[in-house]
Amino acid sequence: MSKNITVIDYGMGNIWSVLSALRYLGCTPVVSNDPDEIVRAESLLLPGVGSFRKAMYSLRESSIDQAILEAVHVKGSKILGICLGMQLMGSQGHEDGETPGLGLIPNSIDLFTPYEIGPNKIPHIGFDLVNSRPDSILFQGLPNAADFYFVHSYRMLPHGLKGKAATCFYGTEFLAAYELDNIFATQFHPEKSQTNGLMLLENFLSH
The DSSP code sequence of 92-149 is EE-TTS-EE---SS-S-EEE--HHHHTT--SSEEEEEEEE--TT-STTTTS-SEEEEE
For the annotated catalytic residues, the residue numbers are 83, 189, 191
Q: Which residue type sits at 79?
A: I
The β-bridge relationship of strands 173-180 and 92-93 is unpaired
> Strands across the sheet with 30-32, in order?
30-32, 6-8, 43-46, 78-82, 183-186, 173-180, 164-169, 124-131, 145-152
